[in-house]
Each structure stands twice: as structure tokens, then as C-alpha cells.
Chain A
């Protein structure tokens, strides 16, 4: 009697767990499906590549795409070298001491700070104190600092996965510490580092709150020409046409959401392809 009872319990228990999983997963597929279904129809050459017209009720989203491209490029150019070097320090040089512990704690905190607080910080440091003004450089630096934890943690995992023996062989051949890192460790960690960089591109492209007060413009008649210009950006543009301006055609909103989500998902898919290929090789 009892074992049968337990078998039933197990079925019930696993059923509940499956239900919880479905409640999580089905809406995800629903959201992505909805945006693809409704956004696909709105896409056209002119929607992607022309300037907005008539108070953004017509025309396209080209300046927002360009702005996001600028922000991604500058912020990654800033954050990638620092993040990779920080990970190299933590994994290859740091001893297990108070300083290392403090750095780890700082990274965790950086990852946990609210995105709008990053926006305030960027406003206070870059826009006001350093007098960069509301500009691409202010926004990109803010975004870069925000994405550092992603780059550091993924790079660190990649470095950790390089077998210890590689380093030992290099040392035993008389190589210095830096030569070992440079020639025996980094090349093998490269796919992992690339994964981190791509993931943070997705993150940077989609963030809105950090750019609200540091770079984002409601509407600009011209494309930005230098890093000290303001810029439009896709996520902010979606926010504006969703909750700030009434009467925007639905297709425009779904189209913008589609472009944004496509960008982010393409980044994520390519990151996981690189990751799984790399794993298979090993």
C-alpha cells in the first residue's frame, strides 16, 4: 500500500514542478511570439532606414538604430579591455586575501545596483562634474560601467576553464607570468571572452534607465555626428512611443519592439552557439 502511495505522491509532486515550469516558460514564448507576429508585418525598408516624420507617427526609426549602435560600440570599447584585464587579475594574479574579497564584493554590488541609479550616477559624474553634457560619451560610459560585471564574470569563467597544466608547462619552459597569461591562457579563453562581450552588447542595447538623463533624446532631426552629441536610442524610443506620445500606430510600436528584441536575441543566440561549439571542441 505504502510504496504505491509514495509513487502517486511523486507523480503529483513532479506534476506541480512541471506546472510551475510551464507557467514560467509559456508566457516567454507568448511574448516573443506576439512581438514577432505583430512586428514582422510592420518592418519595411523605409521603417528601418528613414527618419521619423509627423511627430514620429510616420517615417522610420533609423536615428534610434544609429544611436543604439553608437552606444553599444563606445561602451563595449570602454568596458571590454577593463573587464578582461580585471578578470585576468582576479584569476591569474590575485591572492586569496582581503583585497580580492573586496573586489569580488564590489563586482557583485555593481551587478546589483538599480539601472536608474546608474543613470543618476552618470548624470552626476559624466554630464555635470566632468562636463561631458548630455552626450553619447556620457551615456556610453555609464552603460559600460553597468555592464562590467557581465564581462568580468564571463571572462573569469573562461579563464578558469583553461587547464592548470597549460600554465605549468609554460612556467617550466621559463616563461614569465605575463608571457604565460598572454600566450598560454588567453588564446584558449578567447571564445569565452567573446561570449561575454556579445552578451553585454545585448544588455547595453536594451537598457533604458541609464540613458534617460545621460544621452537619450526624444527626437532629433539629424543623426549624431560626434560623441558629444545627443542621440536617440531604440529602447528609449520604444518607451517614448509607448507611453509618452498618444496615437502612434500600433505597427510602429511592435516594429520597434521587434527590432530591439531581434537585436538582443541574435546576440544571445550567437553567444550560446560560440559557447557550445567551444565546449564540444574540448
Chain B
């Protein structure tokens, strides 16, 4: 009887271990299965002409599969979003964590949670119905479907990440730091600017990085509002095409086994590696912040 129970527990504990390992398994599987389909691109297009090629004409013959315009499109939209979202997010995080009275804090936090929960396709829909026509009329552009519209949407989508992680970092700063500054006669504002921000900095940087990661990988909203022109962008007020949008828009039409199909998977590998690097760095920063 006791042996049976032991055996049962042994099995259960092994199953639990297996589930614990599942995350590693899935990350490895994602990478392997992207490689499985994507690596064939090297047969038709060299790695340099794939990453650095200036033309993305996937259905011309022979197809030209250079993703430089897409990389630049992603970078441009991301940069625009980051410039807006990072200062706003950090400001809002400080307000919520340090200034807002308790009741207001709860309300503000739930607003941020709601923003995080709105599906990206809904934001894209609002972008197309409200933002894009507004930009077109307000800035007198030939079309409102521009990198700028994408940046605005993405800034918005990065904010919940930036705010909540920065807020955690601010709250994690030991109380004594602030109390010490206040006891020395500093105002609350001085204590925040001179003392608290230094303690929270690694966490805030990590927050910004994770926000960037979110923005870089975002697909639906950005595909819906950026106009999808796969050319090298020259300004924020032109249509662009991001890496993610290219996959989402073209995978349905790419014939399985064609160079175009392989190229789309190879773009997936690029995205995977970029997000891997961003998350790894952010994690190192967060853990370093904690150890101190």
C-alpha cells in the first residue's frame, strides 16, 4: 500500500518536473521549427543579400528577397514609438507610484490594465477609423496610413509594459533612501529626482527595453495603420512595412516551398533572435537591480 502511494507520488513529481521543463522545450521547438522552414532561404539568397538587400519584390521573377526596407520600417516605427512612450510611461509610473492619492492610484492602475487588455486588432481598428483620417486631414498628407500612425499606436501598446515594470522598480527602492532625503530637508520632488530615480534606474531601463520588445514584435495594429509599402522609408510621414506585418500579410499567399515562403520564415528567425536578445538583456538588468 505504502509502496503504491510512493510510486504514485514519484510519477506525479516527475510529471510536474516535465511540465516545468515545458517552457524550455517550447522555446527550443519554436527556434527549431522556424529554422526548419527558414534556413532554406540560404539556398537561393545569401545571408548578406537577404539582410542587406534593398529590394523586397517577392513575386517578381526571379524574386528579390532583401529585407532591408522591412528592417528599416520596423526600426523607424519602433523609434517613433519609443520616443513617445518612454518619457510618458516613466512620468506616469512616477505619478502613479509616488504622487497619486490611494484611490486615484487604484483607478489609474485599472486604466493601465484595461489598455494592456485591449486586443491589438481592436486598437488597429480604432486607428484606421479615427486616427488615420484625422492625421490625413490635420497634417495634410496624401494618406494617413503612415509610419507615424504606427508609432502612435505602438507607443500606446508599449505603455502598459513600461508603466507597470517602472512602477515596480520605483516601489522596490528602499524607503530609507527617500526618508533620508526628506529628513535632510529635500522636498518630495527633489527626493524623487535626486534619489529614488537612481535606485529605480536599472528597472526603468529594463522596462523601456521590454516596451521596445513589445513594439518591435507587434503585428496586427501596425499592419492595419502603416500602409504596407515595402520600400526604404525616408520619413515618418510615409507608408512603411514592418517585419511583422510582412509575415502576417504575405504568408497566406506565399506558395509552400517557394523562396518567398522560406524568406518569410527567415524573417521570423530574425524577429525571434531580436526578441531573445532584448529579453535576455532586460532580465539581466532586472536581476542586477534586485541583487543590490
Contact = CB atoms under 8 A, between A and B. Distances in A.
Interface string A189-219: 0000000000000110111110011000000
Category for how many chain B residues contact A: 35 or more
A86 B213 contact: no
A120 B268 contact: yes
Contacts of A129: 33, 36
Interface string A19-46: 1110111011101101100000000000
B184 interface: no
B37 A124 contact: yes
Contact of A21 (B108, B217, B268): B108
Category for how many chain A residues contact B: 35 or more
A106 B23 contact: yes
Contact of B217 (A7, A114, A205): A114
B122 A35 contact: yes
Interface stretch (A51-59, A88-96, A166-174, A222-230): A88-96
A13 B196 CA distance: 15
Contacts of A245: none
A108 B91 contact: no
Interface string B189-220: 11011000000000000000010011011111
Contacts of B210: 112
Interface in A117-133: 117-121, 123-125, 128-129
Contacts of B220: 115, 208-209, 235, 239
A17 interface: yes
B235 interface: no
Given A107-B23, A114-B271, A264 B119 contact: yes
A117 B114 contact: no
Interface string B139-163: 0000000000000000010010001
Contacts of A20: 87-88, 90-92, 95
B287 to A, nearest CB: 9
A102 B34 CA distance: 21
Interface of A: 6-7, 9-10, 13-14, 16-21, 23-25, 27-29, 31-32, 34-35, 81-83, 85-86, 88-90, 93-94, 102-121, 123-125, 128-129, 145, 148-149, 152, 176-179, 202-203, 205-209, 212-213, 235-236, 238-239, 242-243, 250, 253, 257, 260-261, 264-265, 267-268, 272
Given A85-B15, A239-B220, 14 more contacts: A6-B187, A14-B189, A17-B91, A21-B108, A31-B118, A35-B122, A102-B24, A104-B283, A105-B283, A121-B268, A149-B23, A207-B119, A235-B122, A260-B119
